[in-house]
Amino acid sequence: MHSLDTSLREQVRVLGEGLGRTMRNALGDDFFRKVEQIRQLSKQLHRGQVEQQELIQALHALKDDELLPMARAFTQFLNLANAAEQHYRARERVVEDYRGGEQPGFKALLTRLKEGGHAPADLVQALERQQVELVFTAHPTEVSRRTLIQKYDALDACLAEYEASYQPALRERVLVRLEELIAQAWHTDEIRNQRPSPVDEAKWGFAVIENSLWQAVPAFYRALDRELEAQGASRLSLEAAPIRFASWMGGDRDGNPRVTARVTQEVLWLSRWMAADLYLRDVDQLRSELSMHQASDELIQYLGGPAREPYRVLLGQLRDRLRATLDWLKAQLDGQPYQDERVIFDADGLRAPLLLCYRSLCDQGMQVIAEGLLQDILRRLSAFGMNLLKLDVRQEAPRHAQALSEATQFLGLGDYALWDEQRRVDFLLHELTNPRPLLPTSWPCSEETQEVLATCRVIAKERADALGAYVISMAGQPSDVLAVALLLKAAGVKRAMRIVPLFETLADLERAPRVIDGLLALDWYRRYSSQHQEVMIGYSDSSKDAGQLGASWAQYRAQEALTQVCAQHQVALTLFHGRGGTMGRGGAPTQAAILAQPPGSVQGRLKVTEQGEMIRFKFGLPALAERALEVYTCAVLEATVAPPPAPLPAWRELMHQLAETGVQSYRALVKDHPDFVRYFRQLTPEQELAKLPLGSRPAKRKAGGGIESLRAIPWIFAWTQVRLMLPAWLGTDEALLKAEEAGQSELLREMVDGWPYFASNINMLEMVLAKVDLALVEEYEQLLVDEALHPLGRTLRQRQQTLQAVVLRLREQTELLQEVPLTRQAIHVRTPYIIPLHHLQAELLARVRACEQQGVCPTAEQQALLERALMVTIAGIAAGLRNTG
């Protein structure tokens, strides 16, 4: 069983001592002694050796100008602890934590499937057909600057050197470099001065590929091939790509006015530029390595005759073509004309000559050379193509309806917005099959409609292999999908594009099967979609709407029903899971989440979002990325060829009861309690979060709206900051308690043991409860919340305690996370450093609000200092808790 305590103690000590020396040099001995005093008090409080009041008094004694450096001190330590843990996980190949510590992998799975009667050749075929798409999305609550992330990544290399250095002189040199990086981080502002643009977010995604996945993908395939051969199977073909990559960064315009058609076009060009640049570096290196002269007749004929170093001649030509491609893309970005027949537009333009080299080397007995860097480049081509990341476009259904409403009124046909569903469908199908254009080239319409059409024109101009799907949020009817098809046609798109309705709220999820059934009943649409339908399941908004438990069951049932509907229409279904890192957004360990899907719903096809925060934790280092790809591949293969059995009727019946109780309980508080909104806004830093330069899109879909308009991510983030984690458990408490009181505890345990879906929910619930700290919640409440609202706070804390007791009885455990030691230890290690940040945050919130509401700040400079310190505490707590959004 893995133990963080022994593995990390030395590295955390080294990093902590380096930070201490840096702070002492920067701020003096007196301040450093205060940091140490607060750190020791926090550790003693965590062990139950002192009262909370002692720590609070020490923090209250700080001067105003000491609050920011104190917040920075504990934030920096948590960032360094994260870097050390990342290094440990990369070294031990532990991406996620599993109950009992078991780690899924190729070897164990292939052996188990083979023993279960699955022929190795069949498993290879399943892997060849597998289509997993990981969609990188920006993280709206990512507060760490890219500059700092790069410094923490550099620490990883130093820690590896430190572990490998046995000579004192070498180790001393590494320690000097470590301290230099720590000092650089300390003297760098951790909070951005301005929000990142959508293009900045996209560049961050490209950097993850350049720095990590570019190395991880071929390493992942080499490991998979070794295990397949060990089982007596053949390797995967060089064209196979069980996992591919896409992005929403620069394409997701849902509620984000900063994502425009111009931005989308720029991101598409930049993505291709980065791909061409990475391939150019690879081809340059390959050219320097392939100095041999023996070549096949096929290669010699391709070159037009013998050459002294034929591979270098061919690769030199390829290098020139890649340089021309980069010049063409730069001209596009600069708005300049550029013509060059050597430009490579698609992956085949690069793959064909590389495969020619590969075949020639194998033909000449040099297979070991062919399977080196050359094979790595071919594997990268299969995964990334010439576009690096396929870009999805997302827009909300009302924007499309508005565009068509303006169009029909302009054409004198009436108002599309007022038509019923059948009239809309009839109109859309008529126009989709009408050879004449729907609209003139230029017509008077609103700026919003101009932008929708401009985006469609970008799609029309771009190559199909650069784009992924067009995702429609707030989809509710078949006409929402047909509307996008018509707008694309009107903009000049000649090809069919994947159009993906996203079902988000509880009502949307319940309606989803009927919508897809109605859509697939249309002959025109079945032809357009080539008998394949992608449907996106929203996790964030459904949880915010109905509570985690009710939303989870609605998602499960929607997937079951969608699978049945598509099977009836003989249409292949891909379910696109819009997950985030937290439980309230569908977060769960990858293997558990995939195996928890309804039996038969995967079928080798899966698409899932990976948000910025989780991208860093799963894919930020090559060893972690390689392991994450392995986990995804294994889980999808297992869910396809050996899915778990369907749940028993008694389990489904009880789950339905739990969900109904959970939804009613959740909505009774969040939507119906007269004091809830005031309590939420006074207790949490929800209002202050708007000041943080986080992601590129606003925290709210509509300016000035209430809780209902608040995006699900800041809703969850705000509760996480105060350690109540309410969105993840509210409603579940009453549902489980009622089931227990009704004598259904044994049935619940049966469900945990035999139903992966239910087990995954309880596992994540246990992790969330372990991060709750009710003493801290009470401290926030005492400082920030009107006394008249305190009874609501006491009720919430009591409900959480009741739920925790129920979960422990259900688990038959004495403490939370008893079977998940890595997570338990990670929380334990960080807690003494997070506690001071929470107390500082509560005090700073009180002071900032007093400045704003009562005008008690002597100077604007002092207020700015307090706000800066508050922002740092938010960043530090997010770093300490990790899966925050």
Other CB atoms closer than 10 Å to residue 228's CB: what's the count?
A: 20
DSSP 115-182: HTT--HHHHHHHHHH-EEEEEEE--TT--S-HHHHHHHHHHHHHHHHHHH--SHHHHHHHHHHHHHHH
Nearest to residue 612, comparing CAs of 139, 118, 15? 139
Residue keyed to tokens 């396809």: 640
CA distance 762 to 756: 10
Q: How far apart, in whole angstroms, are the C-alpha atoms of residue 251 and residue 604?
A: 26
What is the rounded distance in angstroms from the CA atom of residue 721 to the CA atom of residue 838? 8
Give the span between the Cα atoms of 107 and 224, in whole angstroms. 9
C-beta neighbour count of 1 within 10 angstroms: 8
- Per 3-state DSSP, the chain is made up of helix, strand and coil in percentages (nearest 5) of 65, 5, 25
In 3D space, the residue among 625, 482, 720 whose CA is nearest the CA of residue 95 turns out to be 625
Active site residues: 139, 544
Residues 6 or more apart whose CB falls under 8 angstroms from that of 470 comprise 392, 393, 394, 395, 459, 484, 488, 497, 498, 499, 500
Say which amino acid occupies 425.
V
Instruction: Name the one residue in this structure whose structure tokens are 């194998």.
Output: 362
What φ, ψ does residue 830 adopt, rounded to 5°? -85, -25
Which residue is listed with tokens 């071929």? 218
Give me the half-sphere count of Cα atoms (radius 13 Å) on the Cβ side of residue 206.
22
869 CB contacts (<8 Å, ≥6 apart)? 67, 68, 71, 840, 844
620: Cβ–Cβ under 8 A, 6 or more apart, which residues? 86, 149, 153, 208, 211, 212
The radius of gyration of the chain from alpha carbons, rounded to an integer in Å, stands at 28
Whole-angstrom distance, CA of residue 107 vs CA of residue 104: 9
What type of residue sits at position 479? S
**How far out from the chain centre does Cα 688 lie?**
24
The C-alpha atoms of residue 563 and residue 574 are separated, in whole angstroms, by: 9
| 3-class SS of residue 396 | strand
The secondary structure of residue 328, as a DSSP letter, is H
**What single letter denotes the amino acid at residue 533?**
Q
**Taking CA 875 as the corner, what is the angle to CA 869 and CA 879, rounded to the nearest 5 degrees?**
140
Q: Are 785 and 683 in contact (CB under 8 A)?
A: yes
Pairing of strands 243-247, 131-137: parallel
